[in-house]
Amino acid sequence: MTVPATQAHNRQGSTLPRGAAPDPTGPLAVDATGLHKSFGTHSKTVHAVNGIDLQIRPGEVVAFLGPNGAGKTTTIDMLLGLSKPDAGSLAIFGMAPRAAIAHGLVSAVMQTGGLLKDLTVRETAALTASLFAQHQPVDEVLDRAGILDVAGRRVEKCSGGQQQRLRFAMALLSDPGLLILDEPTTGMDVEGRRDFWQAIRADTARGRTVIFATHYLEEADAYADRIVLVRRGKIVADGTAAEIKNLASGRTVLATADNADAAALAALPGVDSVQVQGERLAIRTKDSDAVARYLLNSTNAVDLEITSHNLEDAFVALTGDADAAAEITGTESKGK
Amino acid sequence: MTTALPATGHARNVPPFGGLNPTLLGIEIKRRFRNRRTLFFTVAFPIVMFLAFGLQFRDTSIETGRTVAQGAPSVVAFIMISMAVYGAMMASTSAGGAVAIERQLGWSRQLRLTPLHPVANIFVKILGGLSIGLLAVLATFATGLAIGVRLPLHVWIVAGTAAWLGSLVFTAMGLMVGYLVPSENVMQFMGPALAFLAFFGGLFQPLDTMAKPLQDIGVWTPTYGLGEIARSPLTGDAFNWLAVGNVILWLAVFGIGAALAFRRDTQRV
């Protein structure tokens, strides 16, 4: 069950008020077709990525949502040129991933590691900046990431949140067109997570394309224009948070009416079920607008209510996997 | 703060020299000099060893016919050069071996997300090792001067240069082990190996004063080759082709080993 790609993209086109309008004639930020990647030997092969098609236009903020082991990191490694797909084609701004890296067009914030403990924050940023042909002023970027005040501090003396904002600053130095975040808030406390997303949000307002992998549903819901739901190496849904919620379990329309025809309601497009208890109606539907229009135009319905379901419901419905759903809704923090 | 969309496409360039630049090199050298443990083993330790073993031989000539008072070089100069070789070797090995730590910390992976070419990074490691190696050689020689070692200028220069540049063999060894061993404790593994090489190569004690079987092993160590070459302007011995062959052989072994280990590593990342 997947939102047709065109539908998702049209929706994107209309919801792009961020920053300057991306160049519609330019190449796609990500253009991946038929990506496959397996690990292991013949006897025990793991298909980490099993046929992923993904087109991301400049300016989109996309959440890559899925349980651990869904293939998110494997896909990201391929986008970054850290590993080569077994099959399929992949271009970043029309270039091979390694070339896009060399041109400073794409950068990434990894979840852990990637820092030298004995360098100061500013040295780390200065070193990273020096590697690019063009880069932003170091102190300006440190300021934007909110760590200018600790610029002279050794990395090993920084908190986890500060280290993560340093990784973010390093990724911003080349002013990349595409920023990839692999589970960027893993291990952060609530406050650190909020500060981090605040910094990202301020940055994406400038029109940068962002892909972030997460298994926190709330992050995907709160920060992404578009959610790509991945499971077992495949994309199982692709659309806005609202579309995905709607897709999975639709919405429930509640109303009170004494002259409604249950059969006519059930015949409306998108309706999954109609429950009648006395005068109270409960209609589960994928197209709540059509049901509401019908109720208001053709019946004497009053007290109309439309409730949507959350992403967790959507995830369970789409993947039939309650364990994975529990994992992505934050209950997993007990286990970690 | 600019509000323009980040530039994409042909507005961006690829940096020259694979990303190699003075800032990167400067920070690498600063890191080497900031590491107290490295400084101790590469600079302080050889000087202490030199003074502990060398000082007593200040008036002992290395020649049979002449005394030190008559202008012959003293044994202390011999030990000084051996210790300079030792210091440079420690510096180079730890500079090369640093890649193990950087791999473990995920720094190599981070660098793969920048335009820096992996070969440029190796070049930086080599130069970083040479910079602290130079300090080790100069510090040992300065100590020698201070306690009264007097040698013709060409001996200082040739011996010092040989000790310094010859240590590239050990940069290669450090890189090879650094790319093979997935551990932050690579120097704890290499420390004993280096002590072994230093001893059997005759850096702590001249090889010809050891038992015959030890000598037979010793001539095969890279430390022996390097020590012989570095000390040759002092001893005035005939040019030792065996020592040169020894160093070239080990440079080839470690260089090829490092290249293979490096290729394996960058493919996997």
Q: Which of A12-26, A68-82, A249-263, B175-189 has the highest mean pLDDT?
A: A68-82
A231 part of a folded domain: yes
- Asked whether residue B193 is domain-assigned, the answer is yes
Q: Is there a single domain that holds both residue A170 and residue A238? A: no
Cβ partners under 8 Å of residue B23, min gap 6: A126, A127, A129, A130
- Asked if residue A195 and residue A76 are part of one domain, the reply reads yes
DSSP state of A154: B
Q: What percentage of chain A reaches a pLDDT higher than 70?
A: 83
Q: Can you give the pLDDT at residue A319?
A: 66
Q: Which helix (H) or strand (E) holds A229?
A: strand A226-231
Query: Which residues are bridge partners to A178 per DSSP?
Result: A106, A209
Residue A320, pLDDT > 70, answer: no
Q: CA A34 to CA A36: how far, in whole Å?
A: 6
- Number of folded domains that form chain A: 3
A292 assigned to some structural domain = yes
Q: Is pLDDT above 50 for A42? A: yes
Is residue A112 one of the residues assigned to a domain?
no
Domain that holds residue A3: 1-14+27-105+178-247+311-336
Between A313 and B58, name the one with better pLDDT.
Answer: B58
The alpha carbon of residue B136 is apart from the nearest alpha carbon of chain A, in Å, by 22
- pLDDT given for residue B83 in this prediction: 94
Residue pair A37/A49 in contact (Cβ under 8 Å)? The answer is yes
Both A234 and A325 in one domain: the answer is yes
**Based on the domain organization, do A50 and A71 belong to the same domain?**
yes
The DSSP line for A259-318 is S--HHHHHTSTTEEEEEEETTEEEEEES-HHHHHHHHHHHS--EEEEEEEPPHHHHHHHH
Indicate yes or no: CB of B113 within 8 angstroms of CB of A144: no
Helices (H), chain A: 5-14, 72-79, 97-102, 121-130, 138-144, 160-172, 190-204, 217-223, 241-249, 262-266, 288-298, 311-319, 322-328
- Confirm whether A20 is domain-assigned: no
Rounded to 10 degrees, the C-alpha dihedral A210/A211/A217/A223 comes to 10
User: Is B227 a member of any domain?
Assistant: yes
Asked, for residue A22, whether it belongs to a domain, the answer is no
Residue contacts between A and B (CB atoms, under 8 Å):
124
Tokens 């404790």 locate to B185
The Cα–Cα gap between B189 and B12 comes to 44
Residue A19 lies in a domain: no
* CB < 8 Å to A23, chain B: 5, 8
Give yes or no: residues A62 and A126 share one domain: no
What is the C-alpha to C-alpha distance for residues B36 and B92, in angstroms, rounded to an integer? 15
Rounded distance between C-alpha atoms, residue B99 and residue B96, angstroms: 6
Answer yes or no: is A110 within a domain.
Answer: no
Q: Which residues contact A205 (CB under 8 A, 6 or more apart)?
A: A18, A19
What local confidence, expressed as pLDDT, does residue B98 receive? 87
pLDDT of residue A15: 35
Q: Is residue A260 part of a domain?
A: yes
Indicate if the pLDDT at residue A328 is higher than 60: no
**What's the pLDDT score for residue B56?**
83
pLDDT at A226: 93
What ipTM was assigned to the predicted interfaces of this complex?
Answer: 0.84
Range of the domain at B89: 19-57+68-268
**Does the pLDDT value for residue A309 go beyond 60?**
yes
Angle (nearest 5°) at CA B74 between B69 and B78: 165
For A282, phi and psi rounded to 5 degrees? Answer: -130, 115
Q: CA of B195 to nearest chain A CA: how many angstroms apart?
A: 27
Q: Whole-angstrom Cα distance, residue B45 to residue B75?
A: 19
Torsion sign over Cα B130, B131, B136, B139: positive
Q: Using an 8 Å Cβ cutoff, are A113 and A97 in contact?
A: no
**Residue A305 structure tokens:** 């209510």
Q: What number of other Cβ atoms are within 10 A of residue A85's Cβ?
A: 20
Chain A environment of B16 (Cβ under 8 Å): 133
Find the CATH number of the domain harbouring A63.
3.40.50.300
Distance from CA of B26 to the nearest CA of A (A): 9
Q: Which two tokens stand for residue A284?
A: 């589960």
d(CA B228, CA B42): 20
**Which residues from chain A sit within 8 angstroms of residue B24, using beta carbons?**
127, 130-131
**Cross-chain residue pair A118–B35, CB shorter than 8 Å:** yes
Query: Region A265-277: what's the mean pLDDT?
Result: 87
Please count the structural domains in chain B: 1
pLDDT at A11 > cutoff 50: no
Nearest-10 Cα torsion for B68, B73, B78, B79:
40
CA distance A104 to B113: 9
Asked if residues B83 and B91 have their Cβ atoms less than 8 Å apart, the reply is no
The whole-angstrom separation of Cα B33 and Cα B80 is 22
Q: Which residue of B has its CA nearest to A124?
A: B27
> Does residue A189 sit in the same domain as residue A241?
yes
With an 8 Å Cβ cutoff, are B8 and A58 in contact?
yes
Q: Which amino acid belongs to residue B73?
A: P
Q: Domain check: are A193 and A322 in the same one? A: yes
pLDDT at residue number B29: 92
**Same domain assignment for residues A92 and A231:** yes
Residues A145 and A287 in one domain: no
With respect to residue B175, please indicate whether it lies within any of the assigned structural domains. yes
Block means of pLDDT (10 residues each) for chain B, 269 residues, are 46 84 93 88 90 84 79 87 93 89 88 90 90 94 92 93 94 91 73 88 84 86 92 81 91 91 73
* A44 and A152 belong to one structural domain: no
Residues A286 and A229 both lie in one domain: no
Q: Provide the token pair at B225.
A: 């080759």
Residue B6 counted as domain residue: no
* Cross-chain residue pair A140–B12, CB shorter than 8 Å: no
Question: Do B107 and A119 lie within an 8 Å CB cutoff?
Answer: no
Inspect the interface and report whether the beta carbons of B114 and A126 lie closer than 8 Å. no
Residue with tokens 């046929």: A51
Residue A235's pLDDT is 92
Q: Is the same domain home to A75 and A183?
A: yes
Q: How confident is the model at residue A184 (pLDDT cuts 50, 70, 90)?
A: confident
Where is the domain boundary, A133, A152, A175? Answer: A175
Q: What is the pLDDT of residues A230-256, one digit of tens each?
A: 888 999 889 888 887 766 667 889 999
Test mutation, B113, B117, B121, B269, chain A, max A CBs within 10 A: B113
